[in-house]
Chains A and B, each alone.
Chain A
């Protein structure tokens, strides 16, 4: 049975768990806060956020950091809903 890239339970892996502590960067906290505010306002539900993350192509999903996936998903869902125009975030980020 095919599984989504996010469906990790029981997947064989030799990778050891990196137990070092990572303090969140400001942009990561910001991303989390944006998602939370959008959820509270009913604009992007937690379920939509997850669906957006799950739609990331497998290679990109595994290479991306945790909050990069969130950012990618927020862009996908907000563009889908017409809150952002296609490519608008790219243009703004490029300055």
Chain B
């Protein structure tokens, strides 16, 4: 059975994918029927496009420089986000998972694509793909190798499968040689992929 998962829409006829026509048709119908006001749909679109990993990076950068904030982040990431004026999103619980020298977390949603979108923006296509969803739990080191990450054998690898309403965010390890960096400079090192757990943050020499 072919398991090729393509995340771009196949072109059917005309210049526009059938799905695009269908989505707009659904929008029209829902607005006409008074089910959803057009402004609310617009606001939803605006919110989605406003979401980027910069918010997650701010949480992590603050945790790196402020140990007490880090404890609050670990205890209740949703509240910690609100403390920084960030929108943690509709999920009732967000849990931050701390990576250390000896423990590395990696997040997946094998059943669909659950992801902390409010703090990281839309999930990358690969996160939603069938092979990632299959292999992240059974062959995580193989997956990490594809991402160019080789954890030492001594590192305990924990793969977290988001199956319920909890959204998981990884706090990557702070790279060495970053003591002199400002919070803003630190945030610039913290990539989306490092907060999913398939990469380490950038290092100052590479940033």
Q: Which residues of A contact B (CB under 8 A)?
A: 6-13, 15-22, 24-34, 36-41, 43, 50, 53, 58-59, 62-63, 65-68, 71, 74-75, 83-84, 88-89, 92-93
Contact = CB atoms under 8 A, between A and B. Distances in A.
Contact of B3 (A21, A43, A62): A62
Nearest to B49: A29
27 contacts: A6-B112, A8-B133, A9-B108, A9-B138, A11-B3, A12-B134, A13-B3, A17-B126, A17-B129, A25-B9, A27-B23, A27-B24, A28-B23, A30-B24, A36-B48, A38-B30, A38-B35, A38-B36, A40-B90, A62-B5, A62-B130, A65-B6, A71-B22, A83-B35, A89-B22, A92-B25, A93-B18
A68 B12 CA distance: 13
Contacts, number: 161
Given A11-B3, A29-B48, 11 more contacts: A6-B111, A13-B130, A13-B135, A29-B45, A32-B44, A33-B48, A50-B112, A65-B6, A65-B8, A66-B128, A83-B30
A27 B20 contact: yes
A17 to B, nearest CB: 5
A47 to B, nearest CB: 10
A18 B130 CA distance: 10
B7 to A, nearest CB: 5
B69 interface: no
Interface string B154-165: 000000010000
Interface in B104-153: 108, 110-113, 122, 124-126, 128-138, 143, 146-147
Interface residues of B, number: 59
Query: For B8, B36, B135, which residue has the most chain A Cβ atoms within 10 angstroms?
Result: B135
A74 B48 CA distance: 18
A68 B23 CA distance: 9
Contact of A75 (B26, B111, B124, B126): B26
A86 to B, nearest CB: 13
Contacts of A29: 45, 48-49
Contacts of B40: 37
Interface string B93-110: 000000000000000101
Contacts of B41: 30, 33-34, 37
Contact of B29 (A20, A39, A50, A84): A84
B27 A68 contact: no
Contacts of B45: 29-30, 33
B20 to A, nearest CB: 4
Nearest to B9: A65
